[in-house]
Structure 1
């Protein structure tokens, strides 16, 4: 049986300077679901260290494996408002560049959310992983 579930973003906080930033509901959800595998949704503006810390936290917290990344196809405009500002669709060129960088860093496939071909490939990645794992 395969059960698919999802959680809100922010498995780990961007910073811990304010208790409001703590992501206890996401952590509780992770503990409650105890997934065997995780497809981690990332943003084009997430830095590699944040992605790495999130991946390691998830895998260590519930003894599972992050088997794929799915990139949300919206980026932030490069201005002073940061993540709270206007969002713009990521270009194919930027997506390809980020996918290459992330794949080389983590050796984990990256798929673009909403791209039909990528979503089919991701489903195959999940099926293949679950079919061959012990």
Structure 2
């Protein structure tokens, strides 16, 4: 819970570095909170995805901040995380402008499939990068978070 609260307190801090532990504990606790809230809400009321949407929306900025700091810890720019958004927009733009957005019978479904594959490959790349060990010692984004006293 300490790591989750640390990320929530640093919700708009895109500078510095974040350890793997900080990033993955934040995601784990966020998932557990959302799951628990959904179960309680479903048992007390009826199923509604809005409670999950509210939780994810409230944690969106802290997630982006800790992801950028995690990328910094591996020596990469935070813009690598924004690359996912760029890839998604580019793939959808190609779908739209090529006329394949809703033309499954044209035989041009391969454009959509290749776009989806590109998105999945980028997500896999980000997953690998976010799992990598951080740079030992200081890098251009700040001191090693393992060496900094909390």
Superposition TM-score tier, normalisation by shorter sequence:
under 0.3
Higher relative contact order (CA 8 A, sep 6+): 2
Report the structure, 1 or 2, having the larger strand content.
1
TM-score of the aligned structures, taking structure 1 as reference length: 0.26
* TM-score normalised by the chain length of structure 2: 0.24
| Higher relative helix content | 2
